[in-house]
Structure 1
Amino acid sequence: MRAAILVIGLVLSFVPALAQAQQAWVQIEAQPTLREGEERARAYSGVFPNVSGFVMTTGWYAIALGPFAPEEAERQLRLLRGERLIPRDSYIALGESFQSQFWPVGVRLGAVPPQGETPPETDAAALPAPEATAIVPNILPDETPAEARRSEALLTREERQQLQEALKWDDFYAGAIDGAFGRGTRASMAAWQASRGYEETGILTTAQRAELIEGYEAERAALGLETVTEEEARIEIPLPLALVEFDRYQPPFVHYREKGGSGFQMILISQKGDEATLSGLYDVMQTLEIVPLEGERGLNRSSFVLTGKNGKIQSHTEVTLKGGVIKGFTLAWRPEDGKRATKVLEAMRAGFRALEGGALDDSLGQPLAEDRAGLLSGLEVRRPALSRSGFWLDGAGLVATTDEVLAGCSRITLGGGPEADLALHDASSGLAVLKPRAALAPRSHARLAERTPRVGSEISVAGFPYEDALDSAVLSFGSFADTRGLGGENELSRLSVATLPGDAGGPVLDTTGAVIGMLLPRRVENGRVLPDDVGLALDAAAIRRALADGGLAEAEPAGLGDAPAPMAAEDLLWLGRDLTVLVSCWD
């Protein structure tokens, strides 16, 4: 029996020690007398809500904050030291040297309820019925700066980070989300307080923190921001699920359509590729209506960014190439929704992650065989108002074309890319000469013929008969019918060749590859329409005169020496493609 009692006594004496070993304190001071210890504990209690005082085994009186779990005690020590709220020589105490507790008065360290005691039972029926009370709103009281600092000290790391995120969301904070309230965070808190008419203390009260977080969470909830893992594309990204919803797969795109008339659209981009693929995607994305023309553009070896804005739509695209995989996104919105879009875009950019495991499978959805068609399928493609043909006049990119392409244009492009300006317009002949805004380096340029071809000789017209539907020029073969126009015009030549409207402005070549003229549009005059196999060309001599009159350098002449040998058909085809450029007019 004595042995059993001894064992029980040992177990009971171990319970407080075990409870104490699982706790830790931040010891901030030690005083030699009880009076001094109580004075310091009382002073610290005006700042911190969890001040404890203990008699130490050394006879001194310790003032400590806690208790905490050991990990939390370490965090509180770093935090309070960093904000200079406690002495720099404060340290973690596990309580081995603590004996009786002198502060707060009446609290005993490691107190354990007496064994075997149970609270007396109460007859519920004998209790008075509770009185009905009115429900009142939970209004948080105002706090002094000292009280605000005390309540702030109780925040967890996650709660402190959330405050920084909320300040950043409201554009008051631009630093790291680390939970440390340094000068940057304090300044942002003061700026937030000022914006709402509060005293600028730099320390948010409990009510102010609640107001800040409630506003932040309400705005995020209205956008429906939620981190989504798109398994097929292997992309993790926060999405505004209140504004967009999944539509379909169309490799390399994952489409999200607008939800509830929000006006927002989104595309995730995921495909395997290299630098050439990235460059091709960069060019293709700029032809889409979802990427307006006005905006910043930037392409490098491993990424590109496209921004665009017009009166109807605004968008932002970011794409990165890494490890043979291309991934990114496009967000588009109405210009009047710019504030919401900025918040969404910040969240998407901050949370975007390209996951390992490949890219979007080409077998998903209904991809088309032709690469360009597959990229554009399901998207509204920006199309020029009109496209015609032109040809290079020199090695810097000067272009001759028909003035038909000038009507109502806000801008003109060459080959679907570089923009050009009007350098010369001869309205009487219908000739327009364009100069690119940046110097180009065409593979070949025209040699204007000095000789008039023999009537009946073979000729070819290089052009884009289907406008921007094809990437390369097409040659149409025919014959030189007359040295004058139908009305006897000396500067015109008549051709026997079948062409389409898109061919207008293209070069007319003889069998040696010299340019003998420029194909003119088929115009309807006084109700008369030319037969399909009859065409008119502005001859090389007229082009040369117009260039000279306009102060432009003359294109390289074909020469008056011995007539060069005719070119093989396949060589003529390649020359025609190299000479000819698509000229597009955009609204």
Structure 2
Amino acid sequence: MMRQAIFLLWLAVFPAAAPLAAQEQAQVWVQIEARPTEAEADARARAYAELFPDVSGYRLASGWYGIVLGPYGPDVARLRLQDLRDAGMIPPDSFIADGRNFREAFAAPGQVRPEIEALAVPGPEPIPDEDAAVATPVAPPEAAPPLPDETPAEAQQSEARLSLAERQELQAALQWFGFYTAAIDGAFGSGTRASMAAWQGAQGLEATGVLTARQRAALLDSYDRAQAELGLETVTEEEAGIRIILPTSLVRFDRYDPPFVHYAPLDDTGVQVMLISEPGDQGTLYGLYDILQTLEVVPPEGNRERSASSFTIEGRSDTLASYTHAELRGGLIKGFMLVWRPDEDERMARVLTAMRSSFRPFGDRALDPGMVELSEEQRRGMLAGLEVRKPRQSRSGIFVDAKGTVLTSAEAVAGCGRVTIDRDHDARVALADPALGIAVLKPERAMAPRVTASFRSGAARLGSPVAVAGYPYEDVLPAPTLTFGTLDGLTGLEGEPNLRRLSLVARPGDAGGPVLDGSGAVLGMLVAPPQGARQLPAEVSFALAPEALTARLAEAGVLPRMSEGGGALAPEDLARLGDGMTALVSCWD
């Protein structure tokens, strides 16, 4: 009794605070019941009004009549829902409703509330009089037994009275729960009927393909409850020119970093949203497609689709999943990205369905790249505020056949979880020979290199000029560079016949690259600098001899091209040759 008196006092004071919260936040209600007729709902609302001063009622989109408490701000509504459930004063399946399912009111707050005596703060409980009658506490209204459901004929009749908007809402609810995949058009054709039957079967009901009024109400109530939990709301982003439904209970607006509008996770949800908006053409679209796949939030595994005017990227790892879509229309690129943890797949599948179906570019504007201050590097990369996924290391390689087979150093691919050629092409290690220090890579899909290497078959002359084509700064530069030097020895420092000694300053990223003579023939493959206590001068480098390389390649089934050398090429022609035959080999964890 004491707890109920305190609770009733709280109810009396509470409505005065609700309008202030509602001014600061979106208003929501606690829906406690739904009845098929207005008369039944009105009677139930009056029964609840014996306890609650803020009962009201609305006709629902399903045709039923809902009884609600409120409105409140979202945080207050969650607290009240929990308190009332714990006190056993409302049904356990009560939920928070955002009002989108409400139509006209049949009972406004205060209209169904009987006059209640002013409540005072209770003092100490009096000693009971043994002769006095024991007061019976006011009990919450009991839920009425469910009414008989409609027959199939009655269900068809009540369904025929639904408006177009109500039909579309039923399709949206079926789509939300994964039973419907076609257009939301309000037409109940064979696809909609099949989805209704599937939903009925999942609920243990007879799969007639026609929902009764009670089933429609149950479906829409579940839909409203799920949407309210995620805070799904239509967001109109004027700066970006995008309208889309977002899970506002999981993300909040963070910042503009053109071409992105960032929505950061709320609490520890791990969910992120980015809207994409920029002017551009097909080249810009394709560049964005390539750039997005270098981000940490876009795992490398997953489906990729790209057409002339749009692309979709799905990424998935053990810890992260993401979905990205962008499209080009009228010189503007608009899109969105959703990022989540894989353990939230079920909920996020529904969020993604809502985002995809609601995504609408509008207007003739996109994010202005000058709306925030960006460095030149950020502006070129369009990746402000996003962490770019980087390989553990990158080295150089040599294209040795027309299908894109690459010869590289063994150290370039040692211990890699994934290997790529030229950033975008996944490859497998077809041969690894640590003793010789080489590895042979086969691309998962055939490539078409501009140049394939020709290995020198004749003896080279000591002191002749050479050049190494490679990526000295690993994956920082977009193309290989040439480093010039001379051939200083036909063996290693201790007489190793498979080595050639060079007077040339190389960097670790050059390892695996081709060493070219003046005619463009390959004199060898640059090896990584030796490790150990003995430090050699910076200008001392080594290459594996061509005869050792070609013999091992032939054993692996790759028949390399040979060359006897020739006249010296102009530096620019040598550079073009080296650029065409040199691959970037990247090692990923």
What is the TM-score with the length of structure 1 in the denominator? 0.72
Once residues 294 and 340 of structure 1 are traced to their aligned partners in structure 2, the CA distance between those partners, rounded to angstroms, is 21
TM-fit CA distance, 1:389: 0.5
Matching residue's letter, 2:585: V
Alignment map for 1:533-548 (pairs within 5 Å) = 533-548=539-554
Once residues 194 and 413 of structure 2 are traced to their aligned partners in structure 1, the CA distance between those partners, rounded to angstroms, is 57
Q: Does 2:282 align with 1:275?
A: yes
Residue 501 of structure 2 is matched in structure 1 by 494
The structure-2 alpha-carbon separation of the partners of 1:361 and 1:497, relative to structure 1 and needing over 3 Å to count, comes to same
Once residues 458 and 184 of structure 1 are traced to their aligned partners in structure 2, the CA distance between those partners, rounded to angstroms, is 73
Residue 353 of structure 1 is matched in structure 2 by 360
Whether the 8 Å CA contact 1:145–1:203 is kept in 2: the answer is no
Residue 366 of structure 1 is matched in structure 2 by 373
Q: Does 2:531 align with 1:524?
A: yes
Alignment map for 1:290-329 (pairs within 5 Å) = 290-329=297-336
The structure-2 alpha-carbon separation of the partners of 1:204 and 1:399, relative to structure 1 and needing over 3 Å to count, comes to closer
Once residues 424 and 528 of structure 1 are traced to their aligned partners in structure 2, the CA distance between those partners, rounded to angstroms, is 30
The structure-2 alpha-carbon separation of the partners of 1:155 and 1:532, relative to structure 1 and needing over 3 Å to count, comes to same
Once residues 341 and 164 of structure 1 are traced to their aligned partners in structure 2, the CA distance between those partners, rounded to angstroms, is 19
Identical-residue share of aligned pairs (%): 49
Q: Which runs of 5+ in 1 are unaligned?
A: 1-47, 50-127
Once residues 172 and 435 of structure 1 are traced to their aligned partners in structure 2, the CA distance between those partners, rounded to angstroms, is 43
SS in 2 for 1:381: coil
The structure-2 alpha-carbon separation of the partners of 1:353 and 1:534, relative to structure 1 and needing over 3 Å to count, comes to same
Higher Cα radius of gyration: 1
Q: CA RMSD in A?
A: 2.8
Whether the 8 Å CA contact 2:468–2:484 is kept in 1: the answer is yes
Alignment map for 1:23-62 (pairs within 5 Å) = none
Residue 413 of structure 2 is matched in structure 1 by 406
Q: Does 2:564 align with 1:559?
A: yes
Whether the 8 Å CA contact 1:287–1:382 is kept in 2: the answer is yes
SS in 2 for 1:493: strand
TM-fit CA distance, 1:241: 1.1
Q: Does 2:579 align with 1:572?
A: no
Q: Which moved more, 1:178-187 or 1:313-322?
A: 178-187
Once residues 189 and 547 of structure 2 are traced to their aligned partners in structure 1, the CA distance between those partners, rounded to angstroms, is 78
Whether the 8 Å CA contact 1:248–1:254 is kept in 2: the answer is yes
Whether the 8 Å CA contact 1:443–1:578 is kept in 2: the answer is yes
Q: Does 2:238 align with 1:236?
A: no
Q: Which moved more, 1:305-314 or 1:454-463?
A: 454-463
TM-fit CA distance, 1:408: 1.2
Residue 427 of structure 1 is matched in structure 2 by 434
Once residues 393 and 271 of structure 1 are traced to their aligned partners in structure 2, the CA distance between those partners, rounded to angstroms, is 41
Matching residue's letter, 2:541: G
Q: Which moved more, 1:297-306 or 1:150-159?
A: 150-159
1:89-118 CA distance string (max 9 Å, x none): xxxxxxxxxxxxxxxxxxxxxxxxxxxxxx
Whether the 8 Å CA contact 1:143–1:205 is kept in 2: the answer is no
Structure 2 residue aligned with 1:586, among 574, 585, 588? 588
Matching residue's letter, 1:142: L
Once residues 306 and 537 of structure 2 are traced to their aligned partners in structure 1, the CA distance between those partners, rounded to angstroms, is 48
Once residues 400 and 363 of structure 1 are traced to their aligned partners in structure 2, the CA distance between those partners, rounded to angstroms, is 45
Residue 10 of structure 1 is matched in structure 2 by none
TM-fit CA distance, 1:144: 4.1
TM-fit CA distance, 1:302: 1.1
The structure-2 alpha-carbon separation of the partners of 1:423 and 1:209, relative to structure 1 and needing over 3 Å to count, comes to closer
Once residues 508 and 184 of structure 1 are traced to their aligned partners in structure 2, the CA distance between those partners, rounded to angstroms, is 64
1:305-334 CA distance string (max 9 Å, x none): 111211011111111112221111111111
Structure 1 residue aligned with 2:423, among 411, 416, 426? 416
SS in 2 for 1:145: coil
Whether the 8 Å CA contact 2:453–2:560 is kept in 1: the answer is no
Whether the 8 Å CA contact 2:378–2:384 is kept in 1: the answer is no
The structure-2 alpha-carbon separation of the partners of 1:393 and 1:139, relative to structure 1 and needing over 3 Å to count, comes to same
The structure-2 alpha-carbon separation of the partners of 1:541 and 1:364, relative to structure 1 and needing over 3 Å to count, comes to same
Structure 2 residue aligned with 1:392, among 388, 399, 413? 399
Whether the 8 Å CA contact 1:251–1:367 is kept in 2: the answer is no
TM-fit CA distance, 1:365: 2.5
1:539-587 CA distance string (max 9 Å, x none): 11221222233332122x2226xx41x2232332232222211101122
1:180-223 CA distance string (max 9 Å, x none): 55565555445444433455565545544333222111110111
1:368-401 CA distance string (max 9 Å, x none): 4347853223212111122110112233322211
Once residues 171 and 434 of structure 1 are traced to their aligned partners in structure 2, the CA distance between those partners, rounded to angstroms, is 43
Whether the 8 Å CA contact 1:294–1:310 is kept in 2: the answer is yes
Once residues 240 and 373 of structure 1 are traced to their aligned partners in structure 2, the CA distance between those partners, rounded to angstroms, is 31
The structure-2 alpha-carbon separation of the partners of 1:194 and 1:299, relative to structure 1 and needing over 3 Å to count, comes to closer
Q: Does 2:136 align with 1:143?
A: no
Q: Which moved more, 1:312-321 or 1:421-430?
A: 421-430
SS in 1 for 2:276: strand
Once residues 515 and 176 of structure 1 are traced to their aligned partners in structure 2, the CA distance between those partners, rounded to angstroms, is 60
Once residues 558 and 188 of structure 2 are traced to their aligned partners in structure 1, the CA distance between those partners, rounded to angstroms, is 67
Once residues 310 and 399 of structure 1 are traced to their aligned partners in structure 2, the CA distance between those partners, rounded to angstroms, is 28
The structure-2 alpha-carbon separation of the partners of 1:227 and 1:460, relative to structure 1 and needing over 3 Å to count, comes to same
Matching residue's letter, 1:578: G
Once residues 145 and 238 of structure 2 are traced to their aligned partners in structure 1, the CA distance between those partners, rounded to angstroms, is 44
Once residues 460 and 206 of structure 2 are traced to their aligned partners in structure 1, the CA distance between those partners, rounded to angstroms, is 90
Whether the 8 Å CA contact 1:284–1:372 is kept in 2: the answer is no
The structure-2 alpha-carbon separation of the partners of 1:259 and 1:481, relative to structure 1 and needing over 3 Å to count, comes to same
